[in-house]
Amino acid sequence: MAAHESVHPVQFKLFMSGQEWKQSVTDSVDRPFAKDRKMSNLWSEKLSESKEPHGPIHGAGIHSDLQFEGYVHNPDDPPTILVGSKNKMAQGEGHHRVAAAADIERTTGKPIWIPTNYEKRGGGYT
């Protein structure tokens, strides 16, 4: 297999903005749990949860943290893009961080940079 057949062009990026990240993925490990199983509903749900005050809800407080810090950081649990068959890309980890970053960019015009982490996957996500 030639290198261009096994590596998605986006995989050469070390960082992506929230908007760019959302546009790069077409599926998610969490999509089966979203209303009507739609990605647009999934992103809305994750954004709403990220705007909740810090507390028991997974992802709560991320939005305010990103507004203050201006970038995504968590080297122990980075947001992940799963690259599957035919180089289709799906969201693995970090839904709340990506949704919050994209929203902040949309409302302020300021990019929030996300370090990219890729995992090669086959199977049902892509």
Query: pLDDT, tens digit, for every residue of 53-68?
Result: 887 778 888 888 888 8
CA nearest neighbour of 89 among 38, 3, 5, 21:
21
Q: Give a yes or no: residue 48 inside a domain.
A: yes
CA distances to 20, 71, 82 from 40, in Å: 15, 23, 18
DSSP-assigned letter for residue 122: -
Q: Give a yes or no: residue 84 inside a domain.
A: yes
Q: Give a yes or no: residue 97 inside a domain.
A: yes
**What pLDDT score does 95 carry?**
92
Q: Give a yes or no: residue 126 inside a domain.
A: no
Confidence of residue 1 (pLDDT cuts 50, 70, 90): very low
**Which tens digits make up the pLDDT trace of 109-119?**
998 888 888 88
Q: Give a yes or no: residue 21 inside a domain.
A: yes
Q: Give a yes or no: residue 125 inside a domain.
A: no
Instruction: For residue 24, give its domain range.
Output: 3-120
The number of folded domains in the chain is 1
**Which tens digits make up the pLDDT trace of 85-94?**
777 888 988 9
Report d(CA 78, CA 59) in Å as an integer: 13
Q: Which residues of 91-117 are buried (b: 16+ CB within 10 A; e: fewer)?
A: bbbbbbbbbbbbbbbeeeeebbbbbbe
Burial of 30 per CB tally in 10 Å (0-12, 13-18, 19+): middle
Q: Give a yes or no: residue 45 inside a domain.
A: yes
